[in-house]
Amino acid sequence: MNRTTYILIAVLLACCARAQFGALPVVQVQSRWTPIRLGPVAWYAAEDNALDSAGTNNAAWTGAAAYTNGVAGQAFRFSLNRVDTTAIIPRAGDFSVFAWARIRTHVSSYLVNQTDLTGEGRVLFFNGAGFLRVQFGATTRDLTVDAGEWVLMGLTRSDGTAQAWYNGEASGASFSNDNTLPDRTVQIGGTDRTSNRNSESDIDDVLLFNRALAATEVKRLYDESILQRDRGQAWRTSK
């Protein structure tokens, strides 16, 4: 039989199946959601490396590299060490930064920061005596937490208005802030720009954006992360 005959037979079989069973169901396979769909400019997933899963802003450890179980897959483990990235949150304009943090010991320390040499007014995520802090300029939003509790922390800025986030929800009122961030790269787990700021913490899925995430996107990030935790799986780092 030639190719045309095979095609005619296939068409006839399909017609017979449709006549006998009606319209055949169309099966659509939906790929599982992943943070890469939000379009981060950098994503440090901490899957046994400090690579940027969203781009080319790879990071490197200062001190001994350490990992532990995170929210989704692995997480960075910090104690007298830190991760130095090559990413820069936009100095002016819109941005978002999110990360999961688990405090092992409450000590005054920087978790995710793009601070200058003074170490003042540029902290993004901070660990204090019994609380976590989102700080930008002179404005702070605190959340009392227990040691060992995972929390999704976030900060967004849109058209000069900033908003802090905890666990997918806005924390307090938004506030005006059009400060220019210092021309420094982001550091995770500590800083070399002021003394005694290394943390005793675990940090997972640090995400940086050059836009402000919408409230629905922040909630989706939190909800999907919890689902991924419950599945006991690491994120797929491709779209």
pLDDT tens per residue across span 101-112? 999 998 888 899
Q: Say yes or no to pLDDT of 212 above 60.
A: yes
pLDDT in the model for residue 57: 96
Tell me if 65 sits within 8 A of 51, measured CB to CB: no
188-202 tens-digit pLDDT: 998 887 666 788 999
Work out the percent of the chain whose per-residue pLDDT is above 90. Answer: 58
Residues 174-187 have a mean pLDDT of 83
- Per DSSP, the three-state class of 57 is coil
Q: Say yes or no to pLDDT of 6 above 70.
A: no
Q: Got the DSSP string for 63-77? A: S---EEE-SSSEEEE
Neighbours of 82 (CB within 10 A): 23
Confidence bin at 18 (pLDDT 50/70/90):
low
> What single DSSP character describes residue 115?
-
- Per DSSP, the three-state class of 219 is helix
Alpha helices in the chain (DSSP H): 3-21, 215-231
Specify if 40 maps to a domain: yes
> For the ranges 43-52, 73-82, 163-172, 185-194, which has the lowest average pLDDT?
185-194
pLDDT in the model for residue 3: 47
What residues have CB less than 8 Å from 153, skipping those under 6 apart? 98, 99, 100, 101, 111, 112, 125, 132, 134, 143, 165, 166
pLDDT in the model for residue 24: 45
Specify if 19 maps to a domain: no
Q: Say yes or no to pLDDT of 237 above 80.
A: no
Q: Can you tell me the distance from the alpha carbon of 110 to that of 133, in angstroms, rounded to the nearest whole number?
A: 10
Specify if 159 maps to a domain: yes
Q: Can you tell me the distance from the alpha carbon of 112 to that of 74, in angstroms, rounded to the nearest whole number?
A: 17
Through-space distance between the first and last CA atoms of the chain, rounded to whole angstroms: 43
Question: Among 100, 131, 115, which Cα is nearest to 123's?
Answer: 115
Number of folded domains that form the chain: 1
pLDDT in the model for residue 16: 56
pLDDT in the model for residue 28: 39
Specify if 20 maps to a domain: no
Q: Say yes or no to pLDDT of 137 above 60.
A: yes
pLDDT in the model for residue 183: 76
Query: Token pair of 73, please?
Result: 């897959």
Q: Say yes or no to pLDDT of 186 above 90.
A: yes
pLDDT in the model for residue 7: 47
Domain limits at 95? 35-231
pLDDT in the model for residue 15: 54
Q: Can you tell me the distance from the alpha carbon of 122 to that of 24, in angstroms, rounded to the nearest whole number?
A: 59
Specify if 160 maps to a domain: yes
Specify if 14 maps to a domain: no
pLDDT in the model for residue 46: 96
Residue 188's Cβ-side half-sphere holds a number of Cα atoms within 13 Å equal to 35
Question: Among 174, 239, 238, 184, which Cα is nearest to 212's?
Answer: 174
CATH number at residue 43: 2.60.120.200
Specify if 219 maps to a domain: yes
Q: Can you tell me the distance from the alpha carbon of 157 to that of 92, in angstroms, rounded to the nearest whole number?
A: 10
Mean pLDDT of the chain: 85
Specify if 58 maps to a domain: yes
